[in-house]
Amino acid sequence: MHADFQPCAYIMASARHGTFYTGVTSHLIQRICQHRDGSFDGFTDRYGVKTLVWFELAATMHAAITREKQIKNWQRQWKIALIEAANPDWRDLAEELGLAAAGHVTPPSLSSSSRT
């Protein structure tokens, strides 16, 4: 990924099958940091959407914006299928970009306190 300008569409999640945020940016690493440090008041801060679960690089900002709009119009199950096709374990893909993980997105069945 080009350090200064690389258009992409992305999906952040609060948890596996949790709240999703679909966005577009020209600098993904910077945008992830903004989501995580609360630079943006509003949706992502309110719902704790801090884990990068999917992204797609684009040749132009126009192409990235078009893809973002397409995904935002999708049904939730289609978004889940998109994520799971590329990232079945719901890893924090920010690690692949050199950032610390926001925390592994744990499936709800594994995060309950009733584990034996």
Q: Is the dihedral of CA 19, 13, 33, 28 positive or negative?
A: negative
| pLDDT 10s digits, 5-17 | 899 999 999 989 8
H or E element, residue 12: strand 8-13
Contact 82, 70 (CB under 8 A): no
Domains defined for the chain, CATH in brackets: 8-105 (3.40.1440)
For 1-116, strand residue ranges (E) read 8-13, 20-25, 51-57
Radius of gyration of the chain (CA): 14
Tally the C-alpha atoms within 13 A of residue 98's C-alpha that lie toward its C-beta.
5
How many Å apart are CA 8 and CA 45, to the nearest integer? 21
Mean pLDDT of 44-69: 93
| pLDDT 10s digits, 89-115 | 999 999 998 888 775 444 433 333 333
